[in-house]
Amino acid sequence: MKILSTKAFIVSMKKMNEADLLINYITEDYGRITCFANNARKSRKRFLGKLEPAMLTNIKFYEKNGISLNILYEADIIEDYKNIRKNVDIYISITKIIEITKVLCQERDNNHGIFNLIRAVFSSLNSIEPDNSTPFSHEGAILKHELYFISNVLKFGGIFPNFTSCTLCSKKNYDRTFLFSMKRGGVVCGDCARTIEAISLPVNFINLSGLMIRSDPTILKKLTVNDSMLKNCVSFLEDFLSFYTGKVFNSFLTGIGA
């Protein structure tokens, strides 16, 4: 029996009975995996306080003969993003990150870019000082992180929309005035837009999303953008994700920008 080890974030967890858990992880070395955690809710030594979504752990697991699931053997905390759990708005926001990750990442389809993106965004969100005195006091900062994450997860997943040229005739979108076709996954010029369904893009969205995929998360503290504009940009990407995947994302209905 070979025990494997990797860094991991929890993307979902399901109670199996009084003590056992079925845990879905996004890992650094094996992509998304599912682990059966025997007696996890009662095992203090192996799992107590180590099975939280806002936490990076090192997990050890193995495959048992005759069982398709991985068996979780042990978990140890590497990075604990405590500030995320102290602010309800930030915590709600990471449910969006987690749900998107679960939908886009397939079992055992490793993507180092997405794993490192989650780690960078969680670390940046954790650096926001908790302040529960005013509702949505961190709305702008959270929306910037959501825009950064969704833009980059689309890039790493190979499905970032085409904004540079018409998807039908290849005419260049130099003046950023083209409409957008969800069906085509990119912009369409005025002439081609007459033949298919197309929508207007949020103001400055092309420039903002381009900046996000070219920068590291430190840009988020320096960037000054109107909250309304951020909401529109995040909402557009959520609509694109929903259309592309054919999924209803529950977190899109309850997030801070909803």
Environment class of 18 (CB within 10 Å of its CB; exposed 0-12, middle 13-18, buried 19+): exposed
- CB within 8 A of 212, min separation 6: which ones? 147, 148, 151, 152, 219
What integer pLDDT is reported at residue 227 of this predicted model? 93
What integer pLDDT is reported at residue 131 of this predicted model? 56
- CB within 8 A of 255, min separation 6: which ones? 92, 93, 95, 96, 146
Residues of the chain short of pLDDT 50, as ranges, are: 134-136
What integer pLDDT is reported at residue 136 of this predicted model? 47
Instruction: Specify the pTM.
Output: 0.91
Structure tokens at 66: 């005759």
What integer pLDDT is reported at residue 147 of this predicted model? 97
Neighbours of 21 (CB within 10 A): 20
What integer pLDDT is reported at residue 67 of this predicted model? 67
What integer pLDDT is reported at residue 48 of this predicted model? 83
Instruction: Report the CATH architecture of 4-80.
Output: Beta Barrel (2.40)
Delimit the domains of the chain by residue range: 4-80, 82-162+201-254
Neighbours of 73 (CB within 10 A): 17
Tallying the residues shown for the chain, one arrives at 258
- CB within 8 A of 228, min separation 6: which ones? none
What integer pLDDT is reported at residue 255 of this predicted model? 60
